[in-house]
Structure 1
Amino acid sequence: MSEPAQPSHRRPGPRSAEWFARAAKTIPGGVNSPVRAFNGVGGTPAFIDHARGAYIYDVDGNEYVDYVGSFGPMILGHADPAVVEAVQKQAAKGLSFGAPTGLETELAELVCSMVDSIESVRMVNSGTEAAMTALRLARGHTGRNKVIKFAGNYHGHVDALLVNAGSGALTLGIPGSPGVPEAVVADTLVATYNDLDSVAEAFKAHGDDIACIMVEPVAGNMNCVPPVPGFLEGLRDLCDQYGALLVFDEVMTGFRVHPGCAQAHFGVRPDVTALGKIVGGGMPVGAVGGPRDVMETLAPTGPVYQAGTLSGHPLGMAAGIATLSQLRDGSVHKAIAPQLDKLLAGLNERAQKHGIGFLTQRVGAMFGMFFTDAEQVSRFDDVAACDTEAFGRFFHTMLDNGVYLAPSAFEAAFISHAHDDTAIERTLDAADIAFATLAHP
């Protein structure tokens, strides 16, 4: 048997290393979000200069097929012409006013027209803000204190929800966080994702004081873990039984797995939805939406206070409108589906060829890769049992051969409308080398 081709180990290059060293002097860990630091895979992060379509380019001039997509929002591809034009036109009019604009209403109307459960929407500045606002809204609307979340689900760095979180918290091995007082999380109940019995037990013990269940309808921060049949429906039933609100954190899944979000894909209607990423077209935008009677609990119509100087930022609103306008008819999602089919089939075929235990899972235009012999990954414990060391080696060989994946075994991957056959074939060629390298270390 011939020896597998060896990666060049040319990426990232010296300019990225220089920027990282410089950044470490003024930025904690050299990065502004922990997962970017490559702590989960080792090595020095690539510093990105620009991006277009399915590709990103680092400061050393290396080109990568990108499956991070800014962790989800770039469903149209990087630097989509319509989105860029909308932002440029608005920037020429002014960046921020601290006063209402028509763009806020236009984006709100667009969101309400696409998501059946949303009649009213409040714009915020990030997914974390959206989750924080949704939690406060649920507590204020119900007059209850406790909230159920799931191990491995990540809802931003909200104090009360940073318990058994996914994403960077898993990569870094942090179950919660110093700086979060015990009293803040005393009303947070942690259940097992895809295990209705654990949720039912929490309701039996605390049903009269549970304000809401907050859940990622597709877990994307412990890699891509879809709900098992009946799980989301069961959560809906339990909330109805006990008078709690069902909150879907669709910061990641919103408009990515379906034009009407994951709730439309699975046919389960939440009471409150947290949005981010795609809703702002890649700009720092989040949103909270739901029925009018629930949303009007927020100030100024109701007693639950929430505010933000830059909420409804004109550039973010313009980018969001330009993005959602292209997604609403479903044609983008229909075009992406066969490309993702090709990618996952090719990855599985090459892993099998080299005898590597490997599993892919997908919902809509997001997917996950797991180094495991299991036939399904459905809970946090399943994810934790996967071979993260193998993923790290795979990651670096893919990077060396021009494919950019999230630098953590606990992050979902994302494909865009710009990933054409050339991008898919380049990815599969790199994967063939990566799997061969794992088989013949």
Structure 2
Amino acid sequence: MNSNSTSDATESHRIVERARDVIPGGAQTGLRAQAYDTGEVAFERAEGATLTTVDGDEYTDYHLGFGPIILGHAHEAVDDAARRAIDGGVLYGAGTAPLEVEVAERLVENLPSIEQVNFCNSGSEATYHAIRLARAATGNEKILKFEGCYHGWHDYVDISVYPPEDQLGEQYPESEGMLSSAVENTLVVPFNDSEAVAEVFREHGDDLAGVIFEPVPHSVGCLLPQQGFLDTVRELTAEADVPLIFDEVITGFRHSPHGAQGEFGVTPDLTCVAKALGNGYPVAAVGGREDLLSQAGGDNKSGVVISGTYSGNLPGLAAARETIDTIVEEDVQGYVTGLGDEYRDGLRDLLADHGIEGRVVGHRSIFSLQFGVSQEPENYEDILGLDEELFREFAAGMRERGHFFTPNPYKRHHLSFAHGAEHLASYLDDADDVLANL
């Protein structure tokens, strides 16, 4: 990290203090404030794998905006595509733009489950729309989700993402102000527990509108699906004619151009994508079977409303088109997967060298270091018991040495196409030093 500021009254401090007067917590969403730990940082530039603060401090970025940046910040081809789109007008608000068709065709081509697409602007919107489509198709209201899976901020699903131990298996609302009937209609079971899913179908199969989950839950670092689990859920939903919704907001276009569904060979009925779809631009989509999506066709015979003034905004779609093409043509996932393996292997060696109890979890371009636990996690309950304070000390030590990632021990590191061997070597060297001093 290179610092041009030695005074306690840094420009970051002054900006954050101003922000606290007019923005709750001084940052857009509490999670952004938490990502800084101290709350005393303001960024003004991002390029490649580097974040720069208003004080001139530079960090190698492993946060990557919670994961959307797959190609690297300020990717020239993506940004040029967005600029060209702006030149033609940002938003039409009526009819169809060629970009909509081009990006929709790419989603249909790459993601096995998608036959038709509706665009929106965020992952939360996409999961909201998917659940509405499922409820309309079945005439039912109950949704089944899994502990530790995050599907957005809305009342439908902001439940049992990080429940306390005494609330395991319960419907735990993550926010005050949520609609009680939404919470009551959201059933919760552990991830990787096929029998628990089967039991829900035995008890509530006639009332279920859909099943939604992250095929690889990354909201708690990383939970990998056990062999047969995804297939079992697919079989149960198909037998009951209940739509299966894959939340691929994180995994889609980060782990594979074909999503986790292509990687694991399980095809859902509806798929939600966002984040890496546009390399940081606001663009998301819900796609799936034609009969489900046609419910939102916009004519008098179609009963589902999927709307949004800024849905299908042209800069976002242009960014998505360029991002998808780059991912496919340059085998981005092959590169970041190999790099991710090197980070994970290196950190495991360091934990062993220093005799520190912990584990390194992750998949492809995502990894997470978790202290105080050692067994491979299968579900959210296995995440409980992390040494949160030790992780925050590790994050603070790495931040002092110029590596930025959220100090939240339940979150994760991300890699991009802009990270390279020099970043790997620097990270592992500094991690060795920090671990030695914990």
SS at match of 1:49: strand
| Structure 1 CA distance for aligned equivalents of residues 320 and 8 of structure 2 | 32
- CA distance in structure 1 between the partners assigned to 2:155 and 2:329 by the alignment: 38
Distance 1:12 1:184, change over 3 A: farther
The CA deviation at 1:215 is: 0.2
For 1:36, the aligned partner's letter is: R
Higher mean alpha-carbon deviation, 275-284 vs 135-144, is at 275-284
Aligned to 2:238: 240
Alpha-carbon separation, structure 1, partners of 2:9 and 2:369? 26
Give the CA deviation at 1:124: 0.5
Partner Cα distance (2:319, 2:9) in 1: 32
TM-fit CA distance, 1:416: 0.8
Deviations 1:328-386 (A, max 9, x none): 24611112222222211111112221111221122222222211332201211111211
Find out whether 1:153 has 2:110 as its counterpart. no
**Amino acid aligned to 1:83:** V
Q: Verify: 1:336 aligned to 2:336, yes or no.
A: yes
Shift of 1:291: 1.5
Contact 1:151/1:193 (8 A) holds in 2: yes
| Paired residues of 1:280 and 1:320 also in contact (CA < 8 A) | yes
Amino acid at match of 2:142: K
Q: Distance in 1 between matches of 2:362 and 2:408?
A: 17
8 A Cα contact 1:388 1:409, kept in partner: yes
Larger displacement relative to structure 2 (386-395 or 403-412): 403-412
Aligned to 1:165: 161
Distance 2:371 2:9 in 1: 28
Aligned with residue 24 of structure 2, among 1, 24, 28: 28
Q: Residues 173 and 183 of structure 2 are in contact (CA less than 8 Å); yes or no, is this contact kept in structure 1?
A: no
Give the 3-state SS of the residue equivalent to 1:25 in structure 2.
helix
What is the CA deviation profile of residues 151-173 of structure 1, one whole-angstrom value per residue up to 9, with x for unaligned ones? 11111111121111249xx9xxx
Hey, what does 1:294 align to over in structure 2? Answer: 292
Kindly provide the CA deviation profile for residues 384-416 of structure 1, in whole angstroms up to 9, marking residues without a partner as x: 211111111111111111001123111122111
Matched-pair contact (CA < 8 Å) for 2:373–2:385: no
Amino acid at match of 1:267: G
Task: State the partner residue of 1:192.
Answer: 190
Residues in 2 aligned to 1:337 and 1:220: alpha-carbon distance in whole angstroms: 15
**Equivalent residue in structure 2 for 1:270, among 262, 268, 271:** 268
Q: What is residue 85 of structure 1 aligned with on the other side?
A: 80
Percent sequence identity over matched residues?
A: 36
* Alignment of 1:71 onto 2:59: no
Is 2:89 the partner of 1:94?
yes
Aligned match of 2:399:
399
In structure 2, what is the equivalent of residue 3 of structure 1? Answer: none
Aligned equivalents of 1:11, 1:290: Cα separation in 2: 54
- Residue 54 (structure 2) pairs with residue 59 (structure 1): yes
Point out the more displaced range, 17-26 or 242-251. 17-26
Deviates more, 1:45-54 or 1:419-428: 45-54
1:125 — aligned with what? Answer: 121
- Helix, strand or coil: the match of 1:362? strand
Show the counterpart of 2:321.
Answer: 321
**2:243 is aligned with 1:220:** no
Deviation at 1:69, TM superposition (A): 1.3
TM-fit CA distance, 1:176: 2.2
State how far apart, in whole Å, the 1-side matches of 2:210 and 2:353 are.
Answer: 46
Q: CA RMSD in A?
A: 2.1
Contact preservation (8 Å) 1:213, 1:244? yes
Alpha-carbon contact 1:35-1:407 (below 8 Å) kept: no
Amino acid at match of 1:93: G
Alignment correspondent of 1:410: 410
Q: Among residues 15, 19, 29, which one is paired with 1:19 in the alignment? A: 15
- 212-221 vs 367-376, which deviates more? 367-376
Extract unaligned runs of 5+ from structure 1: 1-8
Provide the C-alpha distance between the structure 1 equivalents of 2:350 and 2:290, rounded to a whole number of angstroms. Answer: 50
Comparing 226-235 with 363-372, greater Cα deviation is found at: 363-372
Higher mean C-alpha displacement, 335-344 vs 113-122: 335-344
Provide the C-alpha distance between the structure 1 equivalents of 2:189 and 2:377, rounded to a whole number of angstroms.
17
Structure 1 residue ranges (4+ consecutive) displaced by more than 4 angstroms after TM superposition: 9-13
Task: Tell me, in whole angstroms, the C-alpha distance in 2 between the residues paired with 1:13 and 1:407.
Answer: 23
Structure 1: which amino acid aligns with 2:88?
Answer: K
What is the identity, as a one-letter code, of the residue corresponding to 1:225?
Answer: L
Using the alignment, how far apart are the partners of 2:231 and 2:391 within structure 1? Answer: 33
What secondary structure does 1:160 align onto? coil
Q: Does the 8 Å contact 1:11/1:62 carry over to 2?
A: no
Find the aligned partners of 2:336 and 2:222 in 1 and give their Cα distance. Answer: 17
Q: In 1, Cα distance between the equivalents of 2:425 and 2:272?
A: 35
Q: For residues 9 and 428 of structure 2, what CA distance do their matches in structure 1 show?
A: 23
Alignment check: 8 A CA contact 2:103 2:321 kept: yes
CA–CA distance in structure 2, aligned partners of residues 12 and 261 of structure 1: 46
Query: How many Å separate the matches in 1 of 2:51 and 2:340?
Result: 19
Q: Report the Cα distance in structure 2 between the residues aligned to 1:287 and 1:12, rounded to whole angstroms.
A: 44
What is the alpha-carbon distance in structure 1 between the residues aligned to residue 16 and residue 47 of structure 2?
Answer: 23
**Counterpart position of 1:5:** none
Distance 2:226 2:8 in 1: 39
In the alignment, which residue of structure 1 is the partner of 2:386?
Answer: 386
User: Quick check: 2:146–2:189 contact (8 Å CA) kept in 1?
Assistant: yes
Partner of 1:183: 181
2:364 aligned with 1:369: no
Describe the SS at the equivalent of 1:159: coil
TM-score when scaled to structure 2? 0.92
* Inter-partner Cα distance in structure 1 for 2:365 and 2:283: 20
Shift of 1:221: 1.0
The letter of the residue matching 2:102 is E
Deviates more, 1:234-243 or 1:317-326: 234-243
Q: Return 5+ residue gaps in structure 2 as ranges.
A: none
Equivalent pairs, count: 424
Distance 1:97 1:436, change over 3 A: same
The whole-number CA distance in structure 2 between the counterparts of 1:247 and 1:13 is 49
Q: Distance in 1 between matches of 2:344 and 2:86?
A: 39
Task: Check conservation: 1:233, 1:268, Cα contact below 8 A.
Answer: yes
State the one-letter code of the partner of 2:418: A
